[in-house]
Amino acid sequence: MSGLFLQFSCSSNKTASKGASQKTNISAQTISGIYQEAAAQYKVLAAKLPANRFPKSYHASKDSLETSGSDWWCSGFYPGTLFYLYQATGDKQLNAEANRMLEALKKEQYNTSTHDLGFMMYCSYGKANEITPNAAYKDILVNSAKSLSSRFNPKVGAIKSWDSNKNEFLVIIDNMMNLELLFWATKATGDSSFYKLAVTHANTTLKNHFRPDYSSYHVINYDPATGAVQQKRTAQGYADESAWARGQAWGLYGYTVMYRETKDPQYLTQATNMADFMLNHPNLPEDKIPYWDFNAPNIPNALRDASAGAINAAALLELCRYAPEATARKYFSAAETILQALSTDTYRAAPGTNGGFILKHGVGHLPAGTEVDTPLTYADYYYIEALRRYQEFIK
């Protein structure tokens, strides 16, 4: 990973690596222990799961595990986290459980009713294919990319997110996270249409989703016949003009991926501007775990969102590969602070508790009153992903 360390030093990789290691307060031994505890947690979670159901959240007051079918947008995160933990620990029981869930998820490759096939299929089958590449996984992923592509409207220049009435074409910032599947599909098949579609969607989002301060709206409502913007709003945040924390994280991660896959500097500029918006925001707490919305009215008593923190950490640990040295250091330090916070008892559950989930204090959809101050399967996924990325700095 010499490219990582070259961001922080003009000297040798060895010197830069040593400097990164001296800076950290999260040792390799600590991370190894976290992986072991997380693996034990996911065995607790696996034991609670009904057949062919996927974990969503856990309600401690009722000792109740909330689950979904394979068509829920979060279905890929549980097997994805299992694969990450299998890679980290070598525990074959985790690999077996992940593969069991893949069978239940397989039919979603043909699901054209959702934009979330990147989350569902790339975070699961994509991880499986990294570990054990095979033609069956490739076919499933390509079919998933085709299903996702079917939701693209060339007049709008975007992939539809939520289905609604025929006069609306709704696109949410979260959809930036599903484009990675399309880039993979072009590399796997040689078909450039997937790549072009991803770029077009990202450019349309870049044009319409952002305010002058680089915060993002959650939902843009386009006219499907003309492509004109009809409405800009926020569904899961505090207000239409507020900065919903997880939405900002999705955008940061998404445009970082866009730069990785295209090397187009406009995407790096967008990612750094989004990162700076969040990291310089006066309402960002010292530990950098954001309130559920940067403009929540009851700050500092507003709920924190561990899921947004985890996504930001994973994104920043990639963004610092590409940013200039001074900002790269800032992004690395911020990600490290987030991981330090998430790894404390405040956010990381004690073994055997929390229904088997790793992290506490996620906020799913506060305005709807769902998954409020609970564990969330995607919070776990991006936390483990961020730890793995962090390890690359301290090896």
**Which residues partner with 359 through β-bridges?**
348
Q: What b/e readout covers 68-77, taking b as 16+ CB neighbours within 10 angstroms?
A: bebebbbbbb
Q: What's the residue count for the chain? A: 395
Residue 244 in marked binding region = no
Residue 184 in marked binding region = no
Residue 293 in marked binding region = no
Closest CA to 145 of 168, 122, 164, 165: 122
Q: Are 121 and 144 in contact (CB under 8 A)?
A: yes
Distances in whole angstroms, Cα of residue 393 to Cα of each of 28, 149, 308:
10, 36, 22
Q: Which of 91, 116, 293, 305 is an active site residue?
A: 116
Q: Which of 174, 293, 305, 380 is an active site residue?
A: 174
DSSP 312-369: HHHHHHHHHHHS-HHHHHHHHHHHHHHHHHHTSTTTBPPTT-GGG-SB--EEEETTTT
Residue 250 in marked binding region = yes
Residue 63 in marked binding region = no
Q: Which uninterrupted H or E stretch holds 44?
A: helix 28-48
174 is catalytic: yes
264 is catalytic: no
Known binding site for substrate: residues? 116, 174, 234, 246, 250
Q: Which residues are the active-site residues?
A: 116, 174
